[in-house]
Amino acid sequence: QLASISAQGSDGIPKIAKERDYITFNAKATIAGDSDITPNQVILGNTMAFNSCTKVHDSYECTLRFPQNGTMQFDPRSMPYTVSLRNDANKLVDEKSSNFYIDNKVPVIKKLAVDQSLANSGIIRISYTINDTACSAPSCANECAGVKKIDFYEVGKTFAQTVLVDTPGCIVSGATDIQASKFIDGEHTIAVKAYDRTNLPSIEEAITFDLDKTAPVIDVGSFKIVDDVDVDLKYFGAKTIPVRARVDIDLDMSSVLGDFSQFGGPVNASPSCSISNASTVCVWNFNMKIEEAGLKKATIWAKDDNDNQAKAEINRDMQKDSQGPIIEGLESSRVFDGTSFATLQKNTFYATFRD
């Protein structure tokens, strides 16, 4: 009895050989009452005896290499074959038929996609779908060598990464993650090439992504706390006064928060932002109330559209203004020899104050 037969090329892939290759045929045989099956009892086709038979447990494993030396050219199609088992009297005991396939088709990269939303979080995730087939002949339908590996590389750059797949499947879908730290900011084009298990390479395909790992810039020098006449305040009084805190941020208008609790203002408050001279100007309106003089801290967070985050802690020395203005001088509109004069009506006086 023939328990099984098989054929494979030099790559050792069941049922698959290259256009120029040699074929190894295998048969597992047993004959009741025959304790020594010889190679000439196992026949390929009508006349070609196998090369060797080795006893393994209760059966014989027989092998034939075709051609005996070197390689030969095969047509890319399904190749049917038959193995027969004969007894010592050359009578047919069993016979089995099967096919092997000559693979001359390269794998095809059907789909490439990059998850741009993950790029700036530190991961470049590229998903792919690869199709493989043995040959174009109808007899090769649904047959393939399978996918061995996928190469990812940046042309002209040092980056290269290989994903070992090694699967007999004819359709392979998956994703690979690449560390964003391998790239500088900017646009990158990753070339992709797939190989089947006979090492036939696909046509190179490519995919592009943008990388922005640079956090927004909070211009600490532009920070101001101003009153209703736009005077930058570094002093405070006993009363609560309405103020505006403003700062320039180099980012697309997105997520900005400010903590002005040490100025008596809000915590984690969203500002009103507008674009001015290619920068984002953000303004917080609140009532300033400070109890004690000293160093006060405002904290500002900013996040751009690519989720890069920045934080700035801005210190300002606020001094208490506990004295009212001082009148340094008073004079009328009529001055003679340093002395002011007044009439009974329609007088104008000028006062000079210092604060």
Q: pTM of this prediction?
A: 0.68
pLDDT tens digits along 99-152: 999 999 999 999 999 998 787 678 899 999 999 999 999 999 999 999 999 999
Answer whether residue 254 shows pLDDT above 70: no
DSSP line for 33-85: T-S---GGGEEETTTEE-SEEEEETTEEEEEEEESSSS-EE--SSEEEEEEEE
Helix (H) or strand (E) holding 107: none
Query: What is the percentage of the chain residues whose pLDDT exceeds 70?
Result: 95
pLDDT tens digits along 17-74: 999 999 999 999 999 988 899 999 999 999 999 999 999 998 999 999 999 999 999 9
Identify the band that residue 308 occupies on the pLDDT scale cut at 50, 70 and 90. confident
- The two tokens of residue 218 are 């909070």
Alpha carbons within 13 A on the beta-carbon side of 71 = 11
Report the pLDDT value the prediction gives residue 85, as an integer from 0 to 100.
97
Residue 331 or residue 154, greater confidence: 154
Report the pLDDT value the prediction gives residue 339, as an integer from 0 to 100.
81
Using CA atoms, how far apart are residues 291 and 285, in angstroms rounded to an integer? 19
Answer whether residue 355 shows pLDDT above 60: no
Answer whether residue 252 shows pLDDT above 70: no
Report the pLDDT value the prediction gives residue 237, as an integer from 0 to 100.
78
